[in-house]
Amino acid sequence: MPHRSSVPMSWRLKNSRYTLTGTKCSCGKLYMPPRAMCECGKDKLVPVTFGGKGTIVSYTEIHIAPAGFERQVPYNIALVKLDEGPVISGVVVDKNIKIGDHVRSIFRRLQVDGEGGLISYGFKFELEK
């Protein structure tokens, strides 16, 4: 029988790019990006959707971008502590940001793959005004 355990996890990771879906353990621990097993040892985690609002706890201005992102520099990547608790990283579309700013997630085109013309979408953050 083929071992297929990676399939549900990759599906969940893909899903998380569009809806900020993480996982939650019965012990109360939340994970974003989602994890299949909790640090408490349980593996019966259930999907949980986050509201997408949070606070910037750290950020870096990117001047040298990875392939596919060259036209977007400079841009900010921030660590955002979601209101629910987990800390995730993401691009902040605003230029002037500071630690403590409140942000919310938005869905934007992330990059265009030149060869195949594949467009990937995912979440970014913008300042809450």
Place of tokens 């355990």: 5
Of 35 and 53, which CB lies nearer to Zn ion in the complex structure?
35
CB-based contact 78:89 (threshold 8 Å)? yes
Residues 61-100 as x/- pattern, contact with Zn ion by CB under 5 A:
----------------------------------------
Cis omega (within 30 of 0) on the bond before 74? yes
Residues 2-41 as x/- pattern, contact with Zn ion by CB under 5 A:
-----------------------x-x-x--------x-x-
Of 38 and 78, which CB lies nearer to Zn ion in the complex structure?
38
Cβ neighbours of residue 30 closer than 8 Å, sequence gap 6 or more: 22, 23, 24, 48, 84, 85, 86
Cis omega (within 30 of 0) on the bond before 33? yes
Q: CB of residue 84 vs Zn ion: minimum separation in angstroms?
A: 15
Residues that bind Zn ion (CB under 5 A): 25, 27, 29, 38, 40, 42
